[in-house]
A and B are shown apart, each in its own frame.
Chain A
Amino acid sequence: MAAAAVAAAGVFNPAEAMSGLMMPPGAAEMPAEDTIKELMAAAITTAKGLGASYSDVRIGRYRNSIVFTREQQIVNTADTDSIGAGIRALVDGTWGFGATKILTKDGVVAAAREAVAIAKANRIARDQPVVLSPTQAYPNATWKSDFKIDPFTIPIEQRADLLLKANAEALKVKGVRFVNSGLLFVKEDRNFASTEGSVISQTIIRTAIPFQITAVSEDRSDFQTRGNVVTPAGRGWEYVLEQDIVGNAKKWAEEAAQKLTAKSVEVGRYDLVLHPSHLWLTIHESIAHPTELDRALGYEANYAGTSFVAPPDKVLGKLKYGPEFMNIQGDRSQPGACATIGYDDEGVKPEDFMIIKNGIVNDYQTTREQANWLKWWYDANKRPTRSHGCSNADNWSSVQFQRMPNVSLLPGTKEVSWDDIIAATDRGIGIVGDGSFSIDQQRYNAQFGGQVFYEIKGGKIVGMLKDVAYQMRTPDFWNSMDMIGGKKSYQFGSAFNDGKGQPGQSNAVSHGCVPSRFRNINVINTGRKA
């Protein structure tokens, strides 16, 4: 994950507004469905006519709606709306991409011509031609994400009221002086067409509830925060209601205040019991990123980095990532997860696949271009050489490339809970919530903080700790895992702002996981005096 901030906010949907407010017809609307199809056809026909062996076009509308508050006041209310077309052309084995906000025939044709011109200009620097693995054509496909109530229909004052009530509850706790909270909704209308005959239309909604509470000591010698209390989801307003932020705010605020007087951790080695609200980020950094095939083969070397899970012929079927009960699935199918989608951004219908099977590396995340790079492995295992459907662009103006699907640690066979694991731990630290995170460019050495840290002694939580971070080497860490939770303890952790690529793109990600225990991990103390 990189630092890319999420530009939040979406649009108030006048037609469905519960306030009954009359809004004018917006000119900033997507063209009609038939017009979109005509524009898409014009773009790819142009590219083909100018020599492209393959072309695809995405016409999308990307909306955000935000309300941010602090304490008992509004900080910001914003709706953003962006519409445009991005056209990719493959000419003589070289890519070009052109994007425009001008959604007229002239506009998209010009962008298609530019995509072809760039591809042709780059031919002088080509070495190996790009070859796409096969995919089925979907001439009339539609899909929508798993939401019940479109949050864009909820009036702004209702959203603000909920946040201010939750803030008020948090501020009742002694020592708590600041609360920053918000509601962030995303709605994407994505249309896709390719020269291979696919025409796909999808609607995606996502919801985030940023919420951070700050407690300050009376003499101002210390301040502590509790944040990341609710994980984002690929769901609608119903998700906001389920979180009961008003009912939970006091508990989160007490945790912030408790951290002021918590014991500063003693450095050393501990058994760590990691809650899913924390572990998802460790999975994200130390499993999901290093099993991106473009990283493993050097395609991200200049920015995000490469991977220790490389080269593929040395690790596939060979590298022991963790214990035999460790199974990591890649998918874009789990309802409510942020990477879930019907069709990826090159028209592939994604499938579920096992990245790590019984502790051994089994596959990588791929796109159509990348799947061919593993043909030898798929042939040897009698699997078809096809993309896993991991192509994604964060906007119409961004070129699609490999982004992670949902990458999840599957539950163990026994129904073990968070409490069961704590009860089985003699000397350890339980960590809830994700905090500071940093990992090297090959994903070996990582350091993670958290939100709330519990000291575990003799199978019981005996108090709270602060200034905790653990340092790890990825393969050692995962091989030290000796207990995992069962199905009932499985939950998602998500973020909207996973950064990758040049120019940088920001992606929504989810990782399902269960509470798990890791033995003998190096814990450092991060508290210092200025």
Chain B
Amino acid sequence: MTDRRREPKRLIDPSVLPADAIMSRERAEEIIKKIVSFSKADDVSVNLGSGYQTDVRFAANQMSTSGAVMTSGVGIQSTIGKKHAVATTNDFSDESLKSVVEKSEALAKLSPDDPEVMPPLGPQTYLPVSGYFDSTANLTPEARARAALTALEPARKAGDLQAAGFIIVNAGSNALGNSKGLFAYNRSTNANYTLTVRTTDGTGSGWVGVEHPDWTQLNFADVANRAIEKARLSRNPVAIEPGRYTVILEPQAVGDLVQLMGGSLAARAADEGRSAFTKQGGGNKIGEKIVDERVTIFSDPQDPQLLAQPFDGQGLPLARQVWVENGVLKQLFYSRFWAQKQGKTATGGPSSIKMVGGTTSLDDMIKSTPRGILVTRLWYLRQVDPRTILYTGLTRDGTFLIENGKISKSIKNFRFNESPLFLLNNLEAIGPAVRIGGTEQGGPIVMPPIKAKDFNFTSLSDAV
């Protein structure tokens, strides 16, 4: 053991930790103003990010790689007439910033005209979001190592288990600004923990993932207990015939499939005839019922379960956006160019996704099911047909047969070919929505468990 008394309290000497490790609003504003002052273009837009990321990885009951990365970067877009180009750097010295401004201007001058170029956005008003937690930002390596031990110790002690997990903690800021006075700033933290426990005989595997902006909200012991229980319960799976089954999908499995609708929410692709939301004969499906009327899906940076950035990459304010309400497609998102062309209001895309929960508990869904399949999560989802948002993928880390209202046995994993649109049309019950952890750094997603009929499993997998 190392002598803990001799370890420094802070692991980076503050004298060499630059002021912009997690850039303050004032510092971001100062840099953006400086870049604007260097610009000779018609317009200049700046995107400024900074962050401190730490992680711990363990696998096969051993510690693996762990690290800390401090970085930041700036992207500068210069627009001259209808020409524009971006250059980026992570060196914030005056000489470097000047050089990158000039580089983006030189690149822009050489670029062909962009007929879709839009004038820069002026100042905007953004909703306040409190997604920054000191408990997360100020975490020590010792705290992360102790968190890893909450899974490693019981797994090593048990003798029949192997734990593999990953803890990743981010603290950072994001700022936007331009020569027309736009300024947006957001500071956030996030802690994500995923754990896979496998049985040493290779026949069982259980996974649990949790995520929250506030480190103190993660219950590490509970994650270990659930993953261990699921690993043991999933041992010795038996094969059952692929086909259409009633499924009970845990929130992670719902999220894995339903979040993919986000990729089809652009109005332009629908209007152009190349989206699942294209209306035959022209136009899009806004106002049409597309899924079961119990389904409502929205984005909202201020939702306490989401706490997302209140602006998009161009500085458009993001507020509550309801995509699907009571089964009806309520809106698609319009880029600034497409909105102008179609006479609509420009909106940002989905930066967070929440499907409104219901009241049926997972246990009640199981109890009400004479024969069905309980799915922990889905894996390796890839689009098969964009016309229907059809994806293929597999079940993973805990797939069970339900018979007469009870989990009767562990079953082998299935490949499926299924669309969130078909799934949400075949809905039978919805449970309480929770933040899911399997997105790693993919943005906040909140999903309920659901029960649905006729889920399309197309083949068996031997994988555990």
Contacts and interface: CB of A to CB of B under 8 A. Distances in A.
Contacts, number: 341
28 contacts: A24-B99, A27-B95, A27-B99, A75-B114, A79-B103, A79-B104, A83-B90, A95-B66, A106-B15, A110-B17, A121-B142, A121-B145, A123-B2, A125-B149, A126-B62, A223-B274, A297-B60, A298-B59, A301-B60, A302-B207, A441-B380, A442-B464, A447-B417, A447-B459, A473-B462, A503-B168, A528-B388, A530-B276
A438 interface: yes
A305 interface: yes
Given A79-B107, A98-B67, A107-B16, A438 B392 contact: yes
A316 to B, nearest CB: 17
Contact of B16 (A25, A110, A161, A438): A110
A82 B417 CA distance: 40
B463 A445 contact: yes
Contacts of A113: 11-13
A92 interface: yes
Given A95-B63, A442-B464, A79 B380 contact: no
Contact of A77 (B17, B55, B85): B85
Task: Enumerate the 4 nearest inter-chain pairs by beta-carbon distance, A residue then B residue, closest first.
Answer: A97-B67, A27-B95, A121-B141, A27-B96
Interface of B: 1-2, 7-8, 11-13, 15-18, 53-73, 75, 84-91, 93-96, 98-100, 102-104, 106-108, 110-116, 140-142, 144-146, 148-149, 152, 156, 162, 164-166, 168, 194-196, 198, 205, 207, 272-274, 276, 278-282, 379-390, 392-394, 396, 413, 415, 417, 419, 421-422, 440-441, 458-464
B394 A438 contact: yes
Contacts of A114: 11-12, 68
A123 B71 contact: no
Indicate the size class of the contact surface on chain A.
35 or more
B111 A74 contact: yes
| Chain A CB within 10 A, most for which of B16, B53, B278 | B16
Interface residues of B, dominant DSSP: mixed
A440 interface: yes
Nearest to B17: A110
B164 A84 contact: no
A257 to B, nearest CB: 14
A522 B417 CA distance: 15
A71 B421 CA distance: 30
Contacts of B73: 82
Given A81-B89, A178-B272, A437-B382, A74 B98 contact: no
A144 to B, nearest CB: 24
B274 A24 contact: no
A200 to B, nearest CB: 21
Contacts of B415: 438, 440, 445, 447, 471
Contacts of A76: 86
A303 B166 contact: yes
Given A24-B102, A28-B100, A438-B381, A101 B116 contact: no
Interface stretch (A134-142, A213-221, A237-245, A345-353): A213-221
Contacts of A122: 56, 63, 66, 141, 145, 148
Interface in A183-224: 214, 216, 219-223
A434 B156 CA distance: 43
Contacts of B90: 28, 81-84, 101
Contacts of B59: 298-302
A78 to B, nearest CB: 4
B112 A164 contact: yes
Contact of A526 (B7, B87, B385): B385
A401 interface: yes
Interface residues of A, dominant DSSP: mixed
Contact of A81 (B15, B88, B272): B88
Interface stretch (A152-160, A246-254, A325-333, A482-490): A152-160
Given A303-B166, A530-B421, A120 B2 contact: yes
Contacts of B57: 502
B140 A73 contact: no
A99 B69 contact: yes
B111 A157 contact: yes
Contacts of A222: 387
A80 B88 contact: yes
A161 B111 CA distance: 9
A393 to B, nearest CB: 10
B383 A23 contact: no
B348 to A, nearest CB: 18
Contacts of B198: 298, 301, 306
